A and B are shown apart, each in its own frame.
Chain A
Amino acid sequence: MRSTADVIVIGGGIHGCSTALHLALRGLRSLVVEKDYAGRHASGVNAGGVRQLARHLAEVPLSVASMELWERIGDLLDDDCGFESHGQVLVAESEAELDQFRARVAQLRLQGYTHEELIDRAELKRLIPAVSDACPGGVVSRRDGAADPFRTTQAFRRKAIALGATVLEGVRVTGLERRAGMWRVSSSAGAFEAPVIVNAAGAWAARIAASLGEPVPLEVMALMLMITDRVPRFIAPVVILRGRKLSFKQLANGTVLIGGGHQGRPDRDANTTEIDWHKLAESARTVWELFPAMRGARIVRAWAGIEARMPDDIPVIGPSATAEGVYHQFGFCGHGFQLAPGLGALMAELIATGRTNLPIAPFSIARFAPAKGANATPDSTPDLMRTTPGGQA
């Protein structure tokens, strides 16, 4: 058995590809093993929000660090990824909500973060003239924006390959084994060896973790999005709500993307998702109320990607608590796209040097470890990335 790489990355989503790229920048050769194709699920079909706004406090330092990379994404990847920075706005639907936002912005200020700015009704109307007059204000993060998620994931993949990484698509990981200080990864395309493994397998990451004796309470999610036909440009920033589930943005080609957290029905084993129109009708209702000008627009498509959510809404990042040489990077449901460039750099630093200056303690997988005395039951499934064929290609 030859040592095929310095690091084997399981999962060719944007996180796996970003980590592979940053490992290459540090001179480490990685092998990315992807069961479908890069960006097939959440990485390729998410809303593309590049958002520091309204992040979980634990994630703010990571998000701010990642933003630095987004602002020079073209230099990093030789592709601008369709990134446009027109800001993101959290719209308050009531005075009470605006008061909550005020407190949040003040809290961030105390910690030294200034990217979130409270805005009044006039500034809100200036930024988003089409918004309903009923909204009293909101919060803006002016450097935020949006990018094309599939293109971005592909750009990471291409650049990683250009710098020496290998990306195997259509290859499923079937088992992990530790032998004499090396990890042996069995797959549908044979076995590979490396001293280090990165688990960036998204919704499938829990199976990897379980096989290492550290099961996690990962929830499989399918956030739904829908998009309209082309309409004339009428809104520049990305709009999000807090009370009702909505994110809303107009793409450069004129189409309007509507999302915000309503769940479809994922089937992880079949690799498919089903749309729940009762819930998307709620999203439509919210847009109908907030942006009267959109009422005649047509919904042309809806979709959902399969992704992973942890119960505390923050990801799992960092070394395994049970297995040497394994690093986790998963559980980003709805908020991983913007983090990916920075987290790839963080993971590479962690793997290469054993440390990072960014605070990652809150993301440790150890937070899900069973209380002492309880019995962990590892998932001994022979095919870690199993999916059943027959779903539409």
Chain B
Amino acid sequence: MLRRLLEEGQRVRLTIDGKPVTACVGDSVAAAMLSCGLRYCRTTPISGEKRAPYCMMGVCFECLVTIDGINNRQGCLIEVREGMRIDTQLGRRTVE
């Protein structure tokens, strides 16, 4: 859905739903997901509708994802790190 204007940035390796991908240092998790071609990052706990990042500034909570096993994190506020494990969220999240 998004493309990078510049390809020279320093890369980090991470996984999204188990699939290895790369992103640039300084990317937020939400930016990395969108740049890797993901159309949505979660389904809602109520109707199961697909949702994607909407505001990119921490107010809408649409970009909630699971990062390194911790769910409901705001992907737009967290920068990617080498080796990060990102997972899309389906509906309600388990407590552990």
Contact = CB atoms under 8 A, between A and B. Distances in A.
Contacts of B45: 230, 254
B92 A231 contact: yes
Contacts of A229: 72, 93
Interface residues of B, number: 9
Nearest to A231: B95
Contact of A293 (B70, B71, B72, B95): B95
Nearest to A292: B96
Interface string A223-242: 00000011110100000000
Interface residues of A, number: 12
A167 to B, nearest CB: 32
A244 interface: no
Interface in B64-96: 70-72, 92-96
A296 B92 contact: no
Interface in A292-333: 293-298
Contacts of A254: 45, 92
Contact of A232 (B70, B72, B92): B92
B92 A293 contact: no
Interface in A249-306: 254, 293-298
The interface residues of chain B, by DSSP majority, are classed as loop
Nearest to A256: B95
Nearest to B96: A293
* Main DSSP-derived SS at the A contact region: loop
Contact of A298 (B72, B92, B96): B72
A69 to B, nearest CB: 33
B30 to A, nearest CB: 18
Contacts of A294: 95
Nearest to B70: A296
Nearest to B72: A298
Contacts of B93: 229-231
Contacts of B72: 229, 298
A234 B92 contact: no
A152 B34 CA distance: 45
Interface in B38-58: 45
Contacts of B70: 296
Nearest to A130: B95
Nearest to B64: A229
A254 B96 CA distance: 14
Contacts of B94: 231-232
Point out which of B72, B95, B96 has the most chain A C-beta atoms below 10 A from its C-beta: B95
Contacts of B96: 293, 295-296
Contacts of B95: 231-232, 234, 293-297
A289 to B, nearest CB: 15
A230 B96 CA distance: 13
Given A230-B93, A297-B95, 16 more contacts: A229-B72, A230-B45, A230-B92, A231-B92, A231-B95, A232-B94, A232-B95, A234-B95, A254-B92, A293-B95, A294-B95, A295-B96, A296-B70, A296-B95, A296-B96, A298-B72
Interface of B: 45, 70-72, 92-96
14 contacts: A229-B93, A230-B92, A230-B93, A231-B92, A231-B93, A231-B94, A231-B95, A232-B94, A232-B95, A295-B95, A295-B96, A296-B95, A296-B96, A297-B95
